[in-house]
Amino acid sequence: MAKAQTPQRIRGTQDIFGEEEARFAHVVATFERVRRLYGFRRVELPVFEATAVFARSLGETTDVVSKEMYTFEDRGGDSLTLRPEFTAGIARAYLTEGWQQFAPLKIAAHGPVFRYERPQKGRFRQFHQIDAEVLGAAEPLADVELLAFAAQLIRELGIADGVTLKLNTLGDAETRDAWRAALVEHFEAARGELSEDSQKRLDKNPLRILDSKDARDRPVADAAPGIDQFLTGAAADFFGKVTAGLDAAGVAWTRDDRLVRGLDYYRHTAFEFVTDRLGAQGTVLAGGRYDGLVESLGGAPTPGVGWAAGIERLGMLAEAPAFDVCDVALVIEDDAALADGLRVADRLRAAALSVEIVAGGSPRKRFDKGVKLGAGEVVAIGWRDGAATLRVRPGSGEEQAADVLRTSDLALIPA
């Protein structure tokens, strides 16, 4: 019989291990630590939702909905979609779980998200996001706090040097309509120079052209009018409060008056933390205010502001964390001492020390093997005259194991 072929990993997915895993875990642990400092509550949500959750809140004309979603019919005939982002699912839960009672609600989440894109460095089909949202807060202070949270996260990951916060406002509805009209006029005049995708966007969602990654669109997009001349008094006032708050909180930012976000629901504040260290995948963290999203899901008008960041992209920028060595290498020098060795390991682990047991292979080589692990201490359990013996050798760490064993009830003969 022919040998069965091993099924391959699906294109655009990852098996995260070793140094990559250490970076990944470092990003998540830092996010977990910093989100507590800002009072964001953790939430776990389904990985799939009714397709309408994303189609309605993100908008049918967005890249994500029109090209990138993993949508399928389940066995019951319902149309489901693997989440391409967190915000829409959080807004859905806010409505269906009655979380309005907690407003203003500060929520943090992380986990896998799915988008059908062309895989390349820093771009996957299953990737992972950390996400922060504030629902039910209309004040600019929410935007400021959320950005301060993001900035502190980036600082604590040690990547602030290569990362810049680009900030814009998309104004209120009146502002956006006026800007949109000016953009349409600008792009219509140069229709022939635009990519096919952007010619389509021109009819459906002209703001998106500003966001295009197609090199053919860049000259026309970069020459487009910025938003400032169209800001209403109220929109300018809101933006002024956000920037004043950022300055007071010590969050550095630069203005980009043509920055837009890919999704339909953004209003007022829009921002991206960008780097030039990841090639074409320059955006590491992005978000903004989305007054209007909850309404698109059938809820009462609810202000919201949030951001999401790719864990992989942040991990690629961060310094690799130090390799995790164990506190104690526990060498069983004689097989007769195995049971005593396991008792020792139990005591050490109960005292929160990590232990690696070295018990296999030639007994004469085990001690050297234990030393090579580079642990904080090496504990050797031998066997003499029908009883277990104990020897502790200091390594790179403090004498924690020696202390634990000295005060434990284990009767082992000093070797």
> Does position 14 bind ligand ATP by CB under 6 A?
no
Q: Which two tokens stand for residue 411?
A: 């009767």
Residue 189: CB minimum distance to ligand ATP, A: 26
Q: Which two tokens stand for residue 113?
A: 């998200």
117, 156, 257, 399: which one binds ligand ATP (CB under 6 A): 117
Closest CA to 226 of 143, 167, 146: 167
Whose CB is nearest to ligand ATP?
A: 310
Which region among 188-196, 219-227, 228-236, 302-310 touches ligand ATP (by CB under 6 A)? 302-310
> Does position 308 bind ligand ATP by CB under 6 A?
yes
Q: What is the DSSP string of 63-97?
A: HIIIII-EEEE-TTS-EEEE-S-SHHHHHHHHHHT
232, 283, 400, 408: which one binds ligand ATP (CB under 6 A): 283
Shorter beta-carbon distance to ligand ATP: residue 122 or 395: 122
> Does position 24 bind ligand ATP by CB under 6 A?
no
What amino acid occupies position 319? E
Residue linked to tokens 């004498």: 399
Shorter beta-carbon distance to ligand ATP: residue 317 or 378: 317
> Does position 281 bind ligand ATP by CB under 6 A?
yes
Residue 91: CB minimum distance to ligand ATP, A: 15
**Beta-bridge partners for 331:** 358, 380
CB-based burial label for 222 (10 Å; 0-12, 13-18, 19+): exposed
227, 284, 294, 353: which one binds ligand ATP (CB under 6 A): 284
122-141 positions binding ligand ATP, by CB under 6 A: 122-124, 127, 129
Residue 306: CB minimum distance to ligand ATP, A: 10
Which region among 14-22, 135-143, 280-288, 379-387 touches ligand ATP (by CB under 6 A)? 280-288
Which region among 120-128, 220-228, 324-332, 403-411 touches ligand ATP (by CB under 6 A)? 120-128
- Cβ atoms of 307 and 131 within 8 Å: the answer is yes
Q: Mask: binding to ligand ATP, 250-279, rule CB under 6 A, as x and -?
A: ------------x-----------------
Length reported for the chain: 415
Residue linked to tokens 């502001």: 305
> Does position 114 bind ligand ATP by CB under 6 A?
no
Which region among 252-260, 306-314, 358-366, 392-400 touches ligand ATP (by CB under 6 A)? 306-314
> Does position 85 bind ligand ATP by CB under 6 A?
yes
220-249 positions binding ligand ATP, by CB under 6 A: none
> Does position 62 bind ligand ATP by CB under 6 A?
no
Query: Residue 143: CB partners within 8 Å, gap ≥ 6?
Result: 242, 245, 268, 269, 289, 305
Which region among 114-122, 289-297, 325-333, 393-401 touches ligand ATP (by CB under 6 A)? 114-122
Closest CA to 35 of 131, 139, 159: 131
Strand order in the sheet with 79-82: 48-50, 79-82, 70-73
Which region among 200-208, 246-254, 281-289, 370-378 touches ligand ATP (by CB under 6 A)? 281-289
- Cβ atoms of 39 and 103 within 8 Å: the answer is no
Residue 131: CB minimum distance to ligand ATP, A: 8
* Distance, CA of 164 to CA of 154 (rounded, Å): 10
* Distance, CA of 168 to CA of 258 (rounded, Å): 7
* Distance, CA of 54 to CA of 57 (rounded, Å): 5
Closest CA to 240 of 136, 143, 164: 143
* Distance, CA of 52 to CA of 297 (rounded, Å): 9
**Containing H/E element for 115?**
none
- Would you give the DSSP letter of residue 385? T
CA triple 255-257-259, angle to 5 deg:
95
Residue 123: CB minimum distance to ligand ATP, A: 4
Residue 20: CB minimum distance to ligand ATP, A: 13
> Does position 115 bind ligand ATP by CB under 6 A?
yes
CB-based burial label for 324 (10 Å; 0-12, 13-18, 19+): exposed
> Does position 71 bind ligand ATP by CB under 6 A?
no
> Does position 313 bind ligand ATP by CB under 6 A?
yes
Kindly list the residues in this chain that would bind ligand ATP in the complex (CB under 6 A). 85, 115, 117, 122-124, 127, 129, 262, 281, 283-286, 308-310, 312-313
